[in-house]
């Protein structure tokens, strides 16, 4: 497989990207894998991206602004800016064709935000959410450094107003929820609400799998890199090659 490094001008920043071209493509599909917040970067997503590419699926990973090799200040990033940056990366590296969207932690919300864009929703055939988060709609535009953002996060149950739940229930493709055995970051209530949203879809037309990884913690991307067999299992579930 070939690794192609590039930068994408997006949202006033330069975003570092890696595109993995499979040796034997199985079709025109592209997977976009998105890292979480804090110290996350695109390298956390590379193990799963490589596994998908080995199975013939083209894969794209990138650093959000303020992360990794991208420009920008983390505190100036917002959920809305994350969605815009991901959209621009798709416009550059996968402007047409079917999509697989993969989001870890905060990027679980970003997957949902991308699905709210009709032109992307119709192209997305499958999603995978790894230890996903959900955030109150009221803070969508706020920079992460804003006191109101932090105060809302600390307000019990604020996540219930997230648009992610209705968006995921409306998604008609394959969905995989990937969970660690122990998650010290995402409240169990959030996880179960996301699970319920995905289970509310008709199983005959919108298949759903919930995978729990024994021994894993919240940093699933890193953990998958240390456990190649489990990484292969997640890739197979996303590609629907479990049989």
| 85, 15 contact by CB (below 8 A) | yes
- How much of the chain, in percent, has pLDDT values that exceed 90? 95
Round to whole Å and give the CA distance between 151 and 174.
35
Query: Which is nearest to 194 in space by CA: 159, 222, 235, 156?
Result: 159
85: pLDDT strictly greater than 50:
yes
Domain total for the chain? 1
204: pLDDT strictly greater than 90:
no
- In this prediction, residues 63-82 reach a mean pLDDT of 98
Average pLDDT, the chain: 97
Residue range(s) defining the domain that contains residue 191: 2-239
Q: Which residues contact residue 93 at a Cβ distance below 8 angstroms, ignoring those fewer than 6 apart?
A: 6, 8, 17, 19, 30, 60
Segment 111-128, tens digit of pLDDT = 999 999 999 999 999 999
Round to whole Å and give the CA distance between 41 and 63.
5
- In this prediction, residues 89-101 reach a mean pLDDT of 98
CATH of the domain at 147: 3.40.50.1820
| 175, 207 contact by CB (below 8 A) | yes
242: pLDDT strictly greater than 60:
no
241: pLDDT strictly greater than 80:
no
Kindly tell me the sign of the dihedral angle through the C-alpha atoms of 113, 118, 123, 126: positive
205: pLDDT strictly greater than 90:
no
Query: Which is nearest to 138 in space by CA: 84, 195, 78?
Result: 78
Per-residue pLDDT at 121: 98
Query: Which is nearest to 105 in space by CA: 187, 21, 23, 172?
Result: 187
Per-residue pLDDT at 243: 40
- In this prediction, residues 204-220 reach a mean pLDDT of 95
Segment 4-48, tens digit of pLDDT = 999 999 999 999 999 999 999 999 999 999 999 999 999 999 999
The pTM of the full predicted model, rounded to 2 decimals, is: 0.97
Per-residue pLDDT at 203: 84
């Amino acid at each position: 497989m070939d690794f192609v490094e590039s930068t994408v001008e997006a949202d006033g920043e330069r975003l570092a990207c890696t595109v993995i071209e499979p040796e034997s493509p199985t079709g025109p599909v592209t997977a976009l894998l998105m890292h979480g917040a804090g110290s996350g970067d695109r390298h956390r997503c590379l193990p799963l991206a490589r596994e998908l590419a080995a199975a013939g699926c083209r894969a794209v990973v990138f650093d959000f602004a303020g992360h990794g090799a991208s420009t920008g200040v983390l505190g100036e990033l917002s959920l809305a800016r994350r969605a815009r940056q991901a959209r621009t990366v798709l416009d550059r590296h996968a402007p047409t064709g079917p999509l697989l969207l993969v989001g870890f932690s905060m990027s679980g919300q970003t997957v949902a935000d991308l699905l709210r864009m009709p032109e992307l929703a119709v192209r997305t055939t499958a999603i995978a959410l790894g230890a996903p988060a959900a955030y109150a709609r009221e803070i969508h535009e706020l920079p992460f450094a804003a006191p109101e953002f932090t105060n809302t996060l600390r307000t019990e149950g604020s996540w219930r107003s997230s648009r992610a739940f209705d968006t995921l229930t409306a998604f008609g493709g394959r969905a995989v929820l990937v969970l660690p055995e122990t998650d010290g970051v995402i409240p169990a209530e959030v996880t179960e609400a996301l699970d319920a949203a995905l289970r509310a879809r008709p199983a005959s037309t919108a298949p759903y799998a919930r995978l729990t990884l024994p021994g894993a913690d919240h940093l699933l991307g890193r953990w998958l890199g240390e456990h190649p067999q489990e990484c292969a299992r997640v890739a197979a579930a996303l590609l629907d090659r479990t049989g």
